[in-house]
Structures are given as C-alpha cells and as structure tokens.
Amino acid sequence: MLKKEFENEVLKILIPVRCFSCGTLIGDKFEVFSKRVEEGEKPDKVLDDLQVKRWCCRRMIISHIDLIDEFLPFT
Ligand SMILES: [Zn+2]
C-alpha cells in the first residue's frame, strides 16, 4: 500500500516542475497533456488550450518521456 502511494508520487514529479529556459510552471500540465493526447486530441491544440505558448515550454512537455517504468525494477 505504502509503496504504491510512493510510486504514484514519483510519477507526478518526474517531469521538471519549471521550464529550463524561461522558468514557467509546466509540471502541472503534463498529466493533462498526456491524458488528452492518449484520448486522440492533437498535441498542438492541447498545448494551445493549456496556454503553453512559448517554444521552450512546449518542447519541455512534447519531448518528455516517462521512463519511470523502466527504472522501477532497479530501485
Ligand atoms: Zn519556457
């Protein structure tokens, strides 16, 4: 039970909280982004909806790869 909760927390914090270049908060937007893209929406429209307008911030979300499942067996 405890381990499960801890894993969920790791999943949430894996994307950097702020954009490396401009410092805009983006950590809260990745979950919504990936959920909506999985449901079939176009990534560029989702980013526009989430008010992620700058290139630097968009690349943070688009280029993020969730590797937590690859790492978990080694913790
Ligand atoms: Zn940025």
For 13-41, what is each residue's pLDDT tens digit? Answer: 478 999 999 999 999 999 899 999 999 99
Domain range holding 22?
2-74
Integer Cα distance of 61 and 27 in angstroms: 9
DSSP class of residue 51? T
Q: Which of 70, 64, 71 is nearest to 31 (CA)?
A: 64
Ramachandran class of 24: left when φ > 0, alpha when ψ lies in -120 to 50, beta otherwise? beta
Report the percent of the chain where pLDDT is more than 70.
Answer: 81
CB-side exposure of 18: number of CA atoms within 13 Å?
5
pLDDT of residue 3: 52
What is the CA angle 15-19-24, rounded to 5? 120
Identify whether the C-beta of residue 62 lies closer than 8 Å to the C-beta of residue 43: yes
Residues with CB under 5 A from ligand 1 (ion): 19, 21-22, 24, 54, 56-57
pLDDT of residue 1: 44
Number of domains present in the structure of the chain:
1
How many angstroms is it from 74 CA to the middle of ligand 1?
32
Share the mean pLDDT of the chain.
83
Q: What is the pTM of this model?
A: 0.70
Q: With a cut of 80, say whether residue 5 has pLDDT above it.
A: no
pLDDT of residue 70: 76
Which domain CATH number covers 6?
1.10.10.60
How many angstroms is it from 73 CA to the middle of ligand 1?
32
